[in-house]
Amino acid sequence: MTLFTGSGVAIVTPFNEDYSVNFEKLHALIDWQITEGTDAIIICGTTGEASTLNDEEHLACIRTAVEAANKRVPVIAGTGSNDTQHGIHLSKEAERLGADGLLQVTPYYNKTTQRGLIAHFGAIANSVNIPIMLYNVPSRTGMNIEPSTLKELSRFENIVALKEASGNIGHVINVVAELKGKLDLYSGNDDQILPLLSLGGKGVVSVVANMLPKETHDIVDHYLNCRLEESLQLQLSIHKIVTALFCETNPIPIKEAMNIMGMDVGPCRLPLYEMDPINKDLLKQAILDYGLEVKE
């Protein structure tokens, strides 16, 4: 039940100037991503500002992604919640709309225990038939999925993958050692694509792929086809841009970068705010230094 191999873009949700969702632009972005070699579309994740989408918008974005992808690549829908029943509702609806898989983040703010994680993810897994990718990002949720918990969760037939964004390579090694291949591993950090591939990863769920889809795909493709030096050089070549993209809270910089490049994805919704002018200048310079065209 491998969801995909390669680069999955954690796609932004484009907004109009009145902060309504720009569905026409979302459709166009997905079509461009697939043309450029992106291997999967991850819709309504952190980068997609899912936390400020109401349920109607959330499900409409998933529907648009499914229609735009048109079975060319898998669509993985973010349907995580810190309310298990709400997560079940969104997950069932995403399955009904044709999503190929689900992304499930650990419950945030109210948090839980490791036993609670097993009960929470298990309840969602039992409510749907499509495969699930767990999402470990303790910097945002305030909790870590422990290796032993992941091992227990891997017993659910449709929990098949882990997006690992702890940034802690030691933790990832412990996870890999504990799981012994029972879950597919994906990097959740663009600066650690290569390290996680070296630990047996299948790919990346990427922010930078919003602006560099081909390059992000190629990092994984080169590595998996034993072109290790080419993969390394690409990882190093995007490093300055990746650093700039995380100088403020994601997705503020990636949306700013896309707007600088003329992709017109609109603003972020509050409480995410416009980029600090100093950081914006640093981001713009990183884009120019990479050799990309600036339209702004």
Catalytic residue positions, numbered: 135, 163
Q: Tens of pLDDT along 270-289?
A: 999 999 999 999 999 999 99
pLDDT at 84: 98
Q: What predicted TM-score, i.e. pTM, was given to this entire model?
A: 0.96
CA distance 205 to 231: 17
pLDDT at 296: 64
Q: Tens of pLDDT along 118-146?
A: 999 999 999 999 999 999 999 999 999 99
Instruction: 285-289: list long-range contacts, CB under 8 Å, 24+ apart.
Output: 286/240, 286/241, 286/243, 286/244, 287/241, 287/244, 287/257, 287/260, 287/261, 289/240
- Give me the CATH topology for the region 6-225: TIM Barrel (3.20.20)
pLDDT at 168: 94
Q: Percent of the chain, pLDDT > 90? A: 99
